Structure 1
Amino acid sequence: MDKDEPATAKSVDAIPASTAADSATHDQHEKQRQRHVKLVDVGIGCGDQTLYLTRKLSRPASTPARELGGNSDDNPLFDSYIGITIAETQADFARERLLKTTLADDHPSPVPDVKIFAADAADPLSWGSDLTQAVLENSSSTPGEEKTEFAQTSPAKDEEHQTWLLALDTLYHFKPSRKSLLKFARQDMRASFMAFDLLMSDRASLRDRLILRSMCLVTGIPYSNFMTRKEYEDMLVEAGYERDMVDMRDISEHVFAGIARDIWKKDEVMKIYGMSMGMGKFRGAAKVFNWWARSGVVRGFVVVARRGNS
């Protein structure tokens, strides 16, 4: 489920995106072997992060390849990409942007296999057969079956294929919660998980919680999605991830204040031309981000949960 957000919020996505991309290739560098890496990206909106991840982000070719005179071009961080957005119009626009970028570029796309789907990412059981088949491919899972008995993968297949679920600044919007997607990702897709998500501070006072609840009523965000760090980690464990394979990093100081400043600056520029964002969603969003930055009630975390060998 996607959010209707100011475009300026996407300017900070390079931070979690780069961290997530590094995580996705961690095991590859560790074992020094080539795997087929698939990225399933939820909440892509109109495709800003899709363009960044599939067209701009890459890793340098290995040093041995350069020394031996091999191909020194940068390599994609993953081999296939599946993007999911809730609105068909957004999916169409994202596909159109990808096509225009491809046609305008003299070089082929770093990621050879890119697919965009319109679906409610919060409810995997509602997905169409094409999307379900695409995300379960190489996972030894069968569309329509339940739980994890069917999702057993041979060690050889685990060595050859790796799937990551990516969610940048979107999961807190999911209705009724993130749990269905995370359970499906771990048990059916057999995927590792990486995200930039919003959590509630452990030190949030009753007053802070009441203010946050009021904001949720206005924005339509489920208040129950704002968990503490411990509650979030417990949710991942409940979905099937091992606690010692979960890494959570607070990057709030690099995010909220910068977004608020970016929105206010854009408003000042628009005023020069006789326009203003007024009291609409953009200025409202700036005030929310500014309050989060000052109060510390809501924290921005990069979350990585590796699937492990089970």
Structure 2
Amino acid sequence: MISWLSDPTFVAGLFAGAAATLIFLLGAAVCHLLSRDHYGLDHWKLNVQLPISLWMNLGYWKHTSDFTEACRNYLKLVFETANILADQRSIGILDVGIGCGDQTVTVLNDIASRGAGSLAYIGVTNSQAQLGVASRRCHDQQTKLETFHLFLADASKPNVWSEETRSAVDKLKDPKLKERWLLASDCLYHFSPSRMPLWQYAARNLGMNFMGSDLCMSKTGGWRQKTLARTIGVLMGCPWKAFLTEEEYREQLVACGYDRESIIINDVSQNVFPGLVAFLERQDKALAENGISLGGGFRIARKVFGWFAVSKVVRAVIVVARLPKGKDAA
């Protein structure tokens, strides 16, 4: 028997202490509420529409001023250029630089909407944070496809991929997949030392065609402009030779095994840079009016892409390259 429970003085003190604690907490809550501005801005949290989109590419701004739509349209322009949405065959896709999952969901939804053929999908990113977000957002997709994986890996260096990643990617060589594609949306200019190791691996080891969006160096720019563009590229985290001319780009694709006559490089700069710059200006102003900073990095990006638009020394391009006939077949 616990004797102190039968002590009236102890029990009274216990209840008194509990009551005092409760009164203190209630008082603190009241003081907090009274000190708040009930007509302030805290209620913005109730108006946020979740889940939010987390796209991050340059965007294709023709007929839109909305960032999410522009980013989605840029990816869809890649699909249209490759003509994969009209293809009725089964498709395998190795998607590198997947971001936070918006790109993955768009790929799966658009390919599935064809209503024909199966889809096998593997996504790769070198960001642990983005992989975590993408995995949560794409969790439901795993049950829809027989082959669906997201991996943390440096896509520019397939020779150092883990055994698990390499084994999963090798399954895209399944003969039932009649079309196999490497997809790289707005990320290849960050690849170090170059794009070629990934292209070689995709073409020679996996029998994959290539489609993506990228940045190219104009052949008409002077050496000062080109040097400045390369310097800006390095500050953006790109290798010094990241911005290739269209001719250099084509020659590298051919050297990796792609058919020269099949290569498409479309300059879409006029519907990319000006729209992005205008959006960043609007967003910066709108956020500032609400006491939020867009951030120095995005302000610098606005100036950089503005210079790209005016100088035309760096161009935004859509690229598609196919393997010689007979080499991409299962």
Specify if TM > 0.5.
yes
Instruction: For 2:137, give the aligned amino acid.
Output: R
Question: CA contact under 8 A between 1:246 and 1:306: conserved in structure 2?
Answer: yes
1:214: how far off? Answer: 2.3
Among 9, 34, 48, which residue is 2:58 paired with?
9
TM-score (norm 2): 0.73
Equivalent residue pairs, number: 264
Structure 2 residue 35 is matched with structure 1 residue 18: no
The CA deviation at 1:281 is: 0.6
Please name the residue that 1:303 is paired with: 319
What is the Cα deviation at residue 216 of structure 1?
Answer: 2.5
Q: Which runs of 4+ in 1 moved over 3 A?
A: 5-13, 22-29
Match of 1:206 among 193, 202, 223: 223
What TM-score do you get using the length of structure 1 for normalisation? 0.77
Equivalent AA in structure 2 for residue 290 of structure 1: G
Kept after mapping to 2: 8 A contact 1:138/1:161: no
What does 1:27-42 correspond to in 2, within 5 Å?
A: 29=87, 35-42=89-96
Partner of 2:137: 97
Decide whether the 8 Å contact of 2:89 with 2:116 is kept in 1: no
Go from structure 1 to structure 2 and tell me whether the alpha carbon gap of 1:178 and 1:79 turns closer, same or farther (over 3 Å shift).
Answer: same
Q: Contact 1:8 / 1:262 at 8 angstroms: preserved in 2? A: no
Alignment correspondent of 2:274: 257
Distance 1:76 1:295 in 2: 44
Instruction: Tell me, yes or no, if the aligned pair for 2:182 and 2:210 is still in contact at 8 Å.
Output: yes
1:247 is aligned to 2:264: yes
CA deviation string 1:30-71 (max 9, x = no partner): xxxx5321111101122221122224x2465xxxxxxxxxxx
2:289 to 256, 272, 275: 272
Query: Does residue 290 of structure 1 match 2:306?
Result: yes
Whether 1:43 aligns to 2:77 is: no
Q: What's the % identity of the aligned pairs?
A: 33
Query: Shift of the alpha carbon at 1:276?
Result: 2.2
Structure 2 equivalent of residue 114 of structure 1? 148
Q: CA RMSD for the aligned pairs?
A: 2.6
Is 2:92–2:172's contact at 8 Å kept on the other side of the alignment?
no
Aligned mates of 2:84, 2:141 — CA distance in 1? 28
**Would you say the 8 A contact 1:58–1:77 is kept in 2?**
no
Aligned: 1:133 with 2:191: no
Gaps in structure 2 of 5+ consecutive residues:
1-53, 60-66
In structure 1, what is the Cα distance between the partners aligned to 2:55 and 2:243? 20
Listed one character per residue, the Cα deviations across residues 118-166 of structure 1 (whole Å, up to 9, x for unaligned) are: 00000001111222122222527xxxxxxxxxxxxxxxx4x75321000
Q: Which has the larger radius of gyration?
A: 2
Cα gap change, 1:16 to 1:275, in 2 (>3 Å): closer
Q: How does 1:184-195 map to 2 (within 5 A)?
A: 184-195=201-212
3-state secondary structure, aligned to 1:49 = helix
